[in-house]
Amino acid sequence: MEPLRLGVLVSGSGSNLQAILDAIRKKRLDATVCLVVSNQPKALAIERARRAGVATAIVNHKDYDSREAFDRALVTKMREAKVQWVVLAGFMRLLTPTFLEAFPHRVLNIHPALLPSFPGINAQQQALDYGVRVSGCTVHLVDSGTDTGPILAQSVVDVRADDTVDTLSARILAREHVLFPKVLQWIAQGRVHIMASNGSSGRVLVQLDGVRASVGVAGAR
C-alpha cells in the first residue's frame, strides 16, 4: 500500500503537526506529509516542517478579498502537491464549501473537547465553566458547520478540582498527540470507510472495520 499523502493546514505552534511527523519517522504512521500550508507567515509550525524537510507554503488570508478566494488558493496548493487527505492542525480559519467540496469527506480536524459538547473556541474554558468531570479531544471529519462533522475517535481525560485552563489544556493536548496519528493510521490501513448518501439530508455514515462509528449531518449547527 502506498503511504497516505497528507496536506496539513496550520496557524500556530504546530505541536500536532510535530506529533504526526514523529509518528511517520518512528514508522507508526504509513503516511507522508506532502505539504504544510500556513496562513500566518511567522507560525512556528512552518519551522517544524522545514526542519523535517517537508515542503511549505504561506497563503496569507489577508491577501484575499473573500474566504472563497482564499480557499481556492489553498485548494490549488493542495492539488499541486497531490494531497489525498487534508489535516487541520491548529488551523484557525473556517473552511468554506469551496475547499470542502474539493476534498469531500477527506478533511480531518482535532478539537479539544468531547464533541458534540463545547464546539468552537475556548472549549477548555467552556468545560470548566460548565463543571464537567471529564473532557478530552475528538477527531472528526470537517463539514460546513462548526465542529459538527462525523466523529471518528475520542480520548477522555479527567477534569480535576484544581484545574485551570492551562493545566486542562496541557493534558488534553498530550492526548491529541496520540489520538491524531492513530486515526490517520486507521485511514492509511483502509479501516475507515465513509459513505455519503445522495439524499437531501446530507447524512454521512462512517464505519471503522465494518462497525458504525458515527453518523453526522453535513451543515448541522
Would you name the residues annotated as active-site residues? 111
Question: 202: phi > 0 → left, psi -120 to 50 → alpha, else beta; which?
Answer: left
C-alpha closest to that of 92 among 152, 40, 48 = 40
Task: Write out the three cell numbers for 22.
Answer: 514523529
Sheet containing 134-141, strands listed edge to edge, beginning at the edge strand earlier in sequence? 56-58, 31-38, 4-10, 85-88, 107-111, 134-141, 151-158
| Cα–Cα distances in angstroms (integers) from residue 142 to residues 22, 46, 104, 191, 218, in the given order | 24, 23, 9, 19, 9
DSSP label of 116:
T
Identify the three-state secondary structure at position 5. strand
Instruction: Determine the Cα–Cα distance for residues 56 and 21; give it in Å rounded to an integer.
Output: 14
**Whether residue 119 has a cis bond before it, omega within 30° of 0:** no
